[in-house]
Structures are given as structure tokens and as C-alpha cells.
Amino acid sequence: MNGQQTLLFNDLKRSYECDAHEINNAIQDVLKSGHYILGPQHNKFEADFASYLGVSDVIGVACGTDALALIFAGTQHIGRVGPSARIITTANAGGYASVAARQVGMQVEYVDVDEQTHCMSVVSLESALTWSRDSVAAVVVTHLYGRVAELPAIEAVCARYRVPLVEDCAQAAGAIQDNRRAGSVGLASAFSFYPTKNLGALGDGGAVATSDPKLADAIRSLRQYGWQGKYKKVLPGGMNSRLDELQAAILNVRLPRLEAQNARRREIISSYRTFASAKLRVLSADDASHAGHLAVVVTSDRDGLSAHLARHGIMTDIHYPIPDHRQICVEGSCASPSVDLHVTDTISKQVLSLPCFPQLESDEIRRVCDALASF
Ligand SMILES: *Cc1c(COP(=O)(O)O)cnc(C)c1O
């Protein structure tokens, strides 16, 4: 440890401390207001986040996984797919879309990812859709580690096969590609405000973004028991999944800081790239089409690198060690029969995430750089 303090992988206390005064005031205001669910802070956040993203509707929900499940359920209600439909997604993104799909009775099919970006491979997607496009409810593309996936090409494939595109933006809040915010491109998109995300609450939270008014109506109803107005149940399959007022108030404090913090995250990743030894590849985060959520290094000696960093007091994590199709509970999901997942399998043994949060001090960043260089 060289007598140094341990550098945490993520230090959420520091992120609270940097705007503690405003957050404390915002919480006090909610406590005194008497509105705790779907009140003015919630409404303000929905409106502000919608205009920030450039969509007509944002619907605040309880977490990112619910956002995905509600999108899938909503597409059933607006008549795009039957109940036994499947989604097509990637297997290296934490498995959230798979959990959400199964929650609403859908099957999951996986396609491979691109070796350079680790986001969905367009070739692999096309080959899965060529093989069979029947009853595909949605293609779910994850903007992994904060990098916006190859959207124009994926959009074109989805349009050609008439399959809706859903964006998982849990790691990419604030990213922008060709003047379009991540989350404004597909039929709908899901956001998570889990505390470690770029736009993080101090508890669970999530949102759906869409510019389809019918889908927005269905999801507004489904997030609250299937109601249309109070106590009138109009849709089956409703649940209780709302963004609470306290979390919304915290997000209202943090939304205006998102862009500057994303830029800081990208600077950290660029420093790591500059100093990394020849044995390592740090995935790039060069411009605003990357939200800088995670600093990920690819190496054939992951165990060696994580042990080396631990000896220097630097904590790391793995996103994600087990691809979805290798999980024990894979009931009802499979690799697309027409593609193999060898890139997904290979990189799951090679990725390692380094500390990356906006409050890292320059001497801490330097410490990580030195350790990377000496590996
Ligand atoms: C965190 C995350 C989610 C899930 O969000 P929760 O709020 O934890 O349910 C979904 N997708 C991705 C890619 C995530 O990183």
C-alpha cells in the first residue's frame, strides 16, 4: 500500500458533500411541503428532463429496471406486439433488460457486441433479424459505460425490419451524438438514478423518456396500478412504480451539474489512456457522445492488473464478470440462433473498471496513472 490511503472505486459520500447544502435545503422543502408522491418536485423534474433530452414526455418511475419493464409492457398495450414476444439485446450489460423482459413475460435473445466499443454489433443484430423478425417486441441497445452505441446504423436496421428501438440510457445520461441526446432517438428509453449513475439520486429512481404520446399515456397508467385518474383501472398489468418527491428534489439540484461532471469524467478517462502501459487498452471517452460513466481497461491479465492496483491501494470492479447467457437462471433466454457471442465471452474475462467519479482529486488520478504505467 506504500503507506497511502485506499482509493475507493466510487465514493458517494464525496458526491453528496459537494452539493450538501442545496440538497439539504431541497429535502427540507419537501418535508415541509406535505407532498411526498407525485408532487411539484416530481412534475418539475419530468418537465425539465424532457426538455433537456428533447422528448415530449418523461415519466418518473421507481428505478431503471422498472423503466425497462414499463416500456416493454407499454409496447404491448399500444398494440405493437403480442404477449409472448421477445426482445433482442446484448449479454454484456448487466442483465437488467433481461430481468425486465421476463418480468412482463417476454423472452430474451442475445446478439454479440463490437470488439472496439463493447456496444451492440450492427452485423450481429442484422443477422439475428434476418434469421427471424417475428414477434420481436424491441431491440434494446445499451449505451454501455456511457458510450452512445452506433445509433444511425442500428436505427436503419430497426427501420428496415420494422422493429422498435429502445435505448437503455442508465449509464449515458447527458451523452449527445449528432445533436441528439441519448434517450431521444428510440421509440422509448430508460434511465436509472441509482446513486452511482452519472445523474444519481440518494436512493432508487428511474425514468422513461419517449415522444410517442400513446406509449407515454400507457406508461403513466401502468406505473400507477393501471389507473386512468384515481381508482379507475383501465389497463391490466399495472404496477406501483413512482419516482418519489424527495428523490425528484435531489435530481432537480443535480441535473444542472450533469454536463460539467460528465466532462470531468471524460478528462479522468483520457488521463488513464495517456498513461496506460502497452499491455492495456483503456476504452476511449473522447467527446460528448460518451458520458464517461465508467473507465474500463481491457487486458488479457485482468487478475494480475487488479492485484497490482490493489497493492497500490486502488480499488477496482468488473462490469460485468458473467455474461447474461452464462448466468445460472437463464430460463427463457438464449443466444440468437444465427449468431455466436464470442466477443461477449472473450471480453467478459478481460474488462476491469477503474475509479472514475467527478470528485477524484488530481493526485488520486495521478496515482492511478502511475500504477497503470508501472504494470
Ligand atoms: C443500473 C442499470 C440499470 C438498472 O437500473 P436500476 O435503477 O438499478 O434498476 C439498467 N441498465 C443499465 C445498463 C444499468 O447500468
pLDDT at site 1: 47
Instruction: Choose one of 87, 192, 239 to mutate for the ligand 1 pocket test, by most ligand atoms within 8 angstroms of C-beta.
Output: 192
CA of 23 to the centre of ligand 1 (A): 23
- The answer to whether 142 and 171 have CB atoms below 8 angstroms apart is yes
Cell numbers for 193: 438514478
Give 199's DSSP letter: S
Q: What pLDDT score was predicted for residue 328?
A: 79
CA of 5 to the centre of ligand 1 (A): 30
Q: Which residues of the chain form beta strands (DSSP E)?
A: 57-61, 86-90, 107-111, 136-142, 165-168, 176-177, 180-181, 188-192, 206-210, 281-282, 295-298, 333-335, 351-354
Decide whether any atom of ligand 1 lies within 6 Å of the 106 Cβ.
Answer: no
CA of 275 to the centre of ligand 1 (A): 30
- For residue 226 and ligand 1, the question of a CB distance below 6 A is answered with no
Distance from Cα 2 to the centre of ligand 1, integer Å: 36
Amino acid making up residue 211: S
351: nearest Cα among 274, 296, 305, 303: 296
**Most ligand 1 atoms within 8 A of CB, residue of 10, 68, 113, 168 to mutate:** 168
Is the CB of residue 200 below 6 angstroms from any atom belonging to ligand 1?
Answer: no
- Report pLDDT for 82: 67
Question: How many angstroms separate the CA atoms of 230 and 40, rounded?
Answer: 18
* Contact in structure between 113 and 119 (CB atoms under 8 Å): yes
Closest Cα to atom 6 of ligand 1: 64
Which regions of the chain are under pLDDT 70? 1-3, 80, 82-83, 330-336, 338
Q: Which three cell numbers stand for residue 67?
A: 423503466
Measured from the CB, is residue 291 less than 6 Å from ligand 1?
no
- Between strands 107-111 and 136-142, the pairing is unpaired
182 Cβ contact list (under 8 Å, min separation 6) = 143, 148, 167, 169, 172, 173, 174, 175, 176, 189, 291
Cα(78) to ligand 1 centroid in Å equals: 25
198 lines ligand 1 (CB under 6 A): no
Atom of ligand 1 nearest to the CA of 67: 9
Q: Which atom of ligand 1 is nearest to the CA of 93?
A: 13
Q: Is the CB of 93 under 6 A from ligand 1?
A: yes
